[in-house]
Amino acid sequence: MKTKKKKNIIKLVTEFAKLQLAGNIPFWGTYFGFAFLDQTFNMPSFWALAIPTVLSNILFFIVDDKWVFADDKKGRDSSDGVIKFITFTITSAVLLFTITYTLEQQFGITPYIGQFISGLFSTAWTFVGLKFWVFAPVRHHGLRIARSKAKRRRIKTA
């Protein structure tokens, strides 16, 4: 029993480390994408920010699904995961914006620093939200399938 618990802890730590690496995708993807579109095409700021944000979050979802949380893929509904990911990403973005804006308005902390502070807070909730909600395997789905297969076998043999 202790080795299983130890393996679970190692798995969680490994997934957390992978997520920290993958988390660079939306941050730097948006940062460099914005600079590219702004400087190269002189695009309006809204679109220069929106396009790389969406594209880098799509890539972030794929990396999370295929690499970070790949071990939990069994029994997971990918369409449900996409909806959960979009919901989580929008909620997280609003929270990050609110923290950054509040730090500026209430404490006079520049948004350049505030983004890093809010980013530290997001590290924990992003892991928990993605691991246990967005990419969580369906718990009893496998039991239902196993039961229905067993039921079908009983019907066929009867």
Task: Please report where in the chains the tokens 């039921």 appear, as a residue.
Answer: 151
CA 4, 17, 75, 128 torsion-angle sign: positive
Model confidence at 106, pLDDT cuts 50, 70, 90, reads very high
Q: What is the pLDDT of residues 51-100, one digit of tens each?
A: 888 898 899 999 999 999 887 776 666 778 889 999 999 998 888 888 88
Chain centroid to Cα 53, Å, comes to: 14
Q: What is the pLDDT of residues 114-136, one digit of tens each?
A: 878 888 888 888 999 999 999 88
Is the per-residue pLDDT at 27 higher than 60?
Answer: yes
| Closest among 76, 129, 105 to 97, alpha carbons compared | 105
Calculate what percentage of the chain has a pLDDT beyond 90: 34
| Closest among 71, 64, 59 to 25, alpha carbons compared | 59
Report pLDDT for 148: 52
Q: What is the mean pLDDT of the chain?
A: 83
Is the per-residue pLDDT at 154 higher than 80?
Answer: no
Distance (Å) of CA 128 to CA 43, 135, 142: 36, 10, 23
